[in-house]
Amino acid sequence: AAKRRLLVPAWDADHRGVYIYKTAHHPRLKTDFKRQAVDAAMATAAAPTYYRRHRTADDVGLLDGGVWANNPIALAVVEATTLLGWPADSLRVLSLGCVNEVYMLGEAPGLSGLAFDVTRLFMDGQSHGALGMAKLITGHQYEREAIFRCCPDVPKGFFKLDDTQKITQLKGLGASSARKERSRLEPVFFLEPAESFEPIFKLKGTAP
C-alpha cells in the first residue's frame, strides 16, 4: 500500500484520453487502490517512441503520461487545491525534473529543421506551461516562494532515454545537484517528517 498520496499520469491510447492512477485520498477515489502498482509503473513508463502501450490487468492500453503531463506539477497543485481542499497559499512544492536540455531553434526551422526537435519542443512547452500554472495558483514569486524546482541544465542530445552508458554520470549529476540545493530545500521540506497518509479505502487484509 502507498505510504504517500500519489498521482501517476498515463494516457489511454484507445480512448485518446487522460488516465490518472490515484491513491484513495478522497471519498470519490474508489477504484485505483485495488489496481496493481506494476500496471501504474509500466503505463507511465511506456514512452511511445520506444515502447508499445502497456496492457493492464484489465486490458486497458496505456502510454506514458508524459505525452500530456511531462511536468506533472500543475496536476499535483490542482489536486491539492480541489479534491484535498488545501489552501493554495499554504502549498510548498518540490518539483524534480529529468534534466533540462539547452538548445535553440532557428529563426524559421521548418519541418526538416524540427525533425529531431519536435518532440522536445512540445515537451518543453507542456512543462513550462504547467510550471506557469502552478506558480499562478500558489502565488509563487510575486507573493511568496512556493515552487522549488530542481532540474539541472545539460547539452542537447548528451543523454538519451535508451542509452545506459552514462547512468553513472547521471547519478553523479543528481548527487551534485542535491548537494548544491540542500541549504535551500532543507529548511522547507526536511526538518521534520511529513504527516502520515491514511487512505480512505484499503484492501482487505492490509495492515493498518
Domain boundaries of the chain, sorted by first residue: 1-69, 86-196
The two beta strands, 7-12 and 147-150, are unpaired
pLDDT digits (tens, 9 = 90+) for 102-161: 887 777 666 666 666 777 888 888 999 999 999 999 999 999 999 999 999 999 888 888
Helix axes 118-138, 73-81, angle to 10 degrees: 30
- Separation of alpha carbons 77 and 88, rounded Å: 8
State the Cα–Cα distance between residues 100 and 98, nearest whole angstrom: 7
Which long-range contacts (C-beta less than 8 Å, at least 24 apart) are formed by 189-197?
189/92, 189/94, 189/148, 194/4, 196/3, 197/2, 197/3, 197/4, 197/5, 197/23, 197/25
* Tens of pLDDT, residues 72-105: 999 999 999 999 999 999 999 999 998 988 887 7
pTM over 0.85: yes
pLDDT at 207: 61
Q: Which region among 34-38, 98-102, 128-132, 182-186 has the lowest average model confidence (pLDDT)?
A: 98-102
